[in-house]
């Protein structure tokens, strides 16, 4: 298959002639009929084994009767924004928890993440560029985790997320419980409700930037340069607004018109949950797709009628396949092949050109812009070596993809504080270096940088080292709340956003 791809790349054919199937070990992958359950015929990695299969089946049937969480119409609206990102007309800021939990503090987490994403969008819209800023939260469904090892340091089954089992350190708690799929649905539904209320109450991202500016000024551990930079931004906008109101002209440098509403995303890992929320949308004039609208989210964006009904994963607008589950003939690729959402695939430094072409062929056979996002998570060394030739080959072949950078997942390290506590952490300098290198490479290759994918919290957590809070190893124990990987705190994330604004060619 690899050779076939190379022949086609070499023969100078313009558009990539995808065939929607790839031969692996004599078997055609991607050519069989798809259904929401066809993934069950494929090898599935990282799925929990439920001891009570009957109860699982009952829960799955229950999920199929519930309303979809997001509407096909809003999914298509994100698809359009990602198509714009493909052409350099939009930039995506995607971020949130590594693992959301079923915590009673979910509302507070959601509010703080909402303000952080909004403030980041406000910063990025102050460049004078007309590029749309698209916010995607790792929110309202990021409950399932792939794990590198099946058992943890205590010899217990590794924690795979609240949607699977409890994190409590005992064997009974770690037994996969199907009822948690329904609990996840309720939590996701509540989080979506929070987002809609927040969008209603704080429609202006400027207001969020102002709120965070005040929070930074009160936070004694935050670098004063960051406080000043954000205050200057807010002050500049205030002055412009005064000028604007006295002259009646629109002069503010923050153009909130370019900022889109918040969309949701998560890793499409727990396939029984995902399958249970697949819905068929009929786009004909009398079809159900037009009646399903969430508030006025999509007002003003006309959606074309489509002749055939389409399947949508309604658990989120955007779903991605993780580095550990992107096997070409695997269950996760099979599931996402048939839903019409925009989707992503994470790529570590181990990803090959052949794998990327095979994934594009199966997941985006019509080469539709915005359908497929490639999210690199390679670390500086691999990115430097692997990304330029990969990007160049993808560009030469005419493949339409959004290139996004996850500067977090290849920079995880383990440290021990002087009390002997061990922490997974990340150094902000390494995160920044990887992000900057990604932008250098995209600029050199003449490919639009489509966005950035971060693990971050809107709260003052102490999980990553350095950055705007100069967090040291001895600080980690103070506010380490992540249920899985370490997140940037709100100040570290804002500092990174300022660096992003300065290092990207807008
Ligand atoms: C994640 O995004 O939390 C994750 C597990 O990523 P990856 O698949 O890139 O390791
Ligand atoms: Mn993670």
22 CA distance to ligand 1 centroid (A)? 25
**Residue of 100, 145, 146 best suited for mutating to test ligand 1, as the one with most atoms within 8 Å of CB:** 146
What is the pLDDT at residue 242? Answer: 63
Q: Which residue's CA is the nearest one to ligand 1's atom 2?
A: 98
Task: Give pLDDT tens digits for 324-356.
Answer: 999 999 999 999 999 999 999 999 999 999 999
**Token couple for 311:** 């399947």
Provide the phi-psi class of 52: left if phi over 0, else alpha when psi is between -120 and 50, else beta.
Answer: beta
Q: Which residue's CA is the nearest one to ligand 1's atom 10?
A: 323
Q: Which residue's CA is the nearest one to ligand 1's atom 3?
A: 98
245 CA distance to ligand 1 centroid (A)? 47
Task: Give pLDDT tens digits for 165-210.
Answer: 999 999 999 999 999 999 999 999 999 999 999 999 998 899 999 9
Show the ligand 1 pocket: residues with CB < 6 angstroms. Answer: 98, 146, 267, 322-324, 346, 377, 409, 485
Give the span between the Cα atoms of 173 and 156, in whole angstroms.
10
Binding residue ranges for phosphoenolpyruvate: 138, 323-324, 346, 377
pTM: 0.93
Give the span between the Cα atoms of 151 and 216, in whole angstroms.
40
What is the pLDDT at residue 302? Answer: 55
CA 373, chain centre distance (Å): 10
99 CA distance to ligand 2 centroid (A)? 7
Binding residue ranges: 98, 138, 323-324, 346, 377, 409, 455, 485
Categorize the per-residue pLDDT at 304 as very low, low, confident or very high, splitting at 50, 70 and 90.
low
Q: Which residue's CA is the nearest one to ligand 1's atom 8?
A: 322
* pLDDT of 6 over the 80 cut: no
**DSSP secondary structure string for all residues of 79-147:** HHHHHHHHTTSEEEEEEE-SS----TTHHHHHHHHHHHHHHHHHHHGGGS---EEEEEEEBSS------
Task: Give pLDDT tens digits for 132-153.
Answer: 999 999 999 999 999 999 999 9
* pLDDT of 450 over the 80 cut: yes
72 CA distance to ligand 1 centroid (A)? 26
| 3-state SS class at 375 | strand
Q: Which residue's CA is the nearest one to ligand 1's atom 4?
A: 322
Ligand nearest to the CA of 482: 2
Q: Which residue's CA is the nearest one to ligand 1's atom 1?
A: 98
Task: Give pLDDT tens digits for 391-436.
Answer: 999 999 999 999 999 999 999 999 999 999 999 999 999 999 999 9
Task: Give pLDDT tens digits for 226-285.
Answer: 999 999 999 887 776 666 666 665 545 666 667 778 999 999 999 999 999 999 998 887
Helix (H) or strand (E) holding 382: helix 380-397
């Amino acid at each position: 298959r690899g050779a076939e791809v190379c022949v086609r790349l070499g023969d100078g054919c313009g558009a990539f002639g995808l065939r929607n199937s790839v031969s692996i070990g004599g078997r055609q992958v991607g050519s069989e009929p798809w259904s929401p359950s066809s993934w069950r015929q494929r090898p599935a990695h990282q799925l929990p084994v439920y001891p009570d299969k009957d109860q699982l089946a009952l829960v799955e049937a229950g999920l199929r009767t519930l309303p979809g969480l997001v509407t096909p119409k809003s999914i298509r609206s994100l698809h359009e924004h990602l198509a714009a990102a493909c052409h350099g007309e939009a930039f995506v800021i995607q971020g949130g928890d590594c693992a959301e939990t079923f915590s009673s503090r979910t509302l507070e987490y959601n509010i703080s993440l909402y303000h952080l994403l909004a403030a980041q969008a406000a910063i990025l819209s102050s460049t004078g560029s007309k590029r749309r800023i698209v916010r995607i939260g790792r929110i309202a469904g990021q409950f399932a985790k792939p794990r590198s090892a099946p058992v943890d340091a205590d010899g217990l089954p590794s924690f795979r997320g609240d949607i699977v089992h409890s994190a409590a350190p005992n064997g009974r708690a770690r037994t996969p419980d199907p009822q948690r799929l329904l609990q996840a649905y309720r939590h996701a539904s509540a989080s979506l409700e929070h987002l809609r209320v927040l969008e209603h109450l704080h429609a202006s991202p400027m207001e969020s930037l102002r709120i965070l500016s005040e929070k930074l000024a009160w936070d004694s551990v935050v670098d004063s340069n960051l406080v000043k930079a954000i205050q200057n931004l807010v002050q500049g906008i205030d002055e412009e607004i005064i000028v604007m109101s006295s002259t009646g002209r629109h002069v503010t440098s923050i153009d909130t018109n370019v900022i889109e509403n918040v969309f949701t995303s998560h890793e499409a890992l727990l396939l029984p949950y995902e399958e249970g929320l697949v819905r068929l949308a009929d786009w004909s004039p009398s079809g159900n797709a037009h009646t399903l609208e969430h508030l006025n989210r999509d007002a003003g964006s006309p959606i074309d009628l489509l002749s055939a009904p389409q399947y949508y994963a309604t658990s989120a607008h955007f779903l991605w396949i993780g580095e550990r589950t992107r096997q070409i003939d695997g269950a996760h690729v099979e599931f996402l092949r048939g839903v019409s959402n925009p989707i992503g695939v994470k790529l570590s430094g181990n990803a090959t050109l052949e794998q990327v072409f095979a994934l594009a062929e199966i997941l985006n056979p019509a080469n539709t812009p915005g359908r497929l996002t490639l999210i690199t998570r390679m670390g500086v060394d691999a990115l430097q070596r692997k990304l330029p030739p990969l990007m160049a080959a993808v560009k030469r072949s005419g493949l339409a993809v959004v290139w996004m950078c996850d500067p977090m997942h290849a920079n995880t390290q383990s440290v021990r504080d002087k009390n002997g506590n061990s922490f997974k952490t990340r150094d902000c300098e390494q995160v920044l270096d990887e992000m900057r290198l990604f932008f250098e490479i995209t600029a050199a290759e003449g490919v639009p940088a489509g966005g950035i994918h971060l693990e971050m919290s809107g709260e003052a957590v102490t999980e990553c080292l350095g950055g705007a809070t100069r967090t040291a190893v001895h600080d980690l124990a103070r506010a380490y709340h992540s249920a899985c990987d370490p997140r940037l705190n709100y100040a570290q994330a804002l500092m990174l956003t300022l660096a992003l604004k300065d290092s990207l060619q807008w």
